[in-house]
Structure 1
Amino acid sequence: MNIQKLVTTVAAVAAGIAANKLLTAGWKAVTGHEPPTGDADDGEISLGELVVFAAVSGAVVTFARTFATRGAKKWLDSGDIPKD
């Protein structure tokens, strides 16, 4: 089993989940309502708001996952844990 792949995957998934939770709370604080879900029945969300949310959420989650993956790799490369 490759420990590095396992640790970096877990770190990336955890960071993505945390970033999504933070983004949801931030969206509520800024706009005053729930973020868009992509549900076709949700007629209250404008197309512009949907596009902005998609762009922001994609950037935030990608940044968090990349940061976590690099941090996990750096931690593994420091020698604190065996790689295999």
Structure 2
Amino acid sequence: MSKSTKAGSDSGAKGDKVWAIMALVSGIGAAKVTNKVLSSGWKASTGRKPPANPADPDVRLVEAVLWSAATGATVALARMFAQRRAANYYVKSVGRLPKQLEKDER
């Protein structure tokens, strides 16, 4: 392998590591913000704090199901949107998608 080919693959690997960090940070940030917003909305609409642990048998089943569904779906969507924005930034910076996001062959 020539030095230029190795250097190109090293920078690609480095870029993919940068992407992994960007995806992780954006996903965690989106999850934290979304959870805070959902908790505030739950408290405003029910007058109570959201269930800390929906699996707790002392939490009413309807509350556990509603809280789990709301947080699961909303956090997943927020993470996806945050990671898509991070991917757009990555493409503008590097000029290509990270290997983890390369388009599928259809």
TM category (shorter chain) comes to 0.7 to 0.9
- Give runs of ≥4 in structure 1 deviating > 2 Å: none
Q: Larger % of helix: which? A: 2
Unmatched segments (≥5 aa) in structure 2: 1-13, 99-106
Matching of residues 54-73 of structure 1 within 5 Å? 54-73=68-87
How far 1:40 moved relative to its partner?
3.3
Give 1:3's match in structure 2, choosing from 11, 18, 26. Answer: 18
* Unpaired stretches in structure 1, ≥5 consecutive residues: none
Task: Give the match's secondary structure for 2:93.
Answer: coil
Deviation at 1:26, TM superposition (A): 0.7
What residue identity is the alignment partner of 2:43? K
Alignment of 1:3-42 (within 5 A): 3-38=18-53, 40=56
Matched, 1:76 2:82: no
The structure that has the greater radius of gyration is 2
Scaled by the length of structure 2, what TM-score is found? 0.67
Overall identity of the aligned pairs, in % = 33
Which structure would you say has the larger RCO, counting Cα contacts within 8 Å and 6 or more residues apart?
A: 1
Alignment root-mean-square deviation, CA: 2.1
Measure how far apart 1:64 and its partner are. 0.6
Report how many aligned residue pairs link the two structures: 80
Partners of 1:9 and 1:76 lie apart in 2 by 14
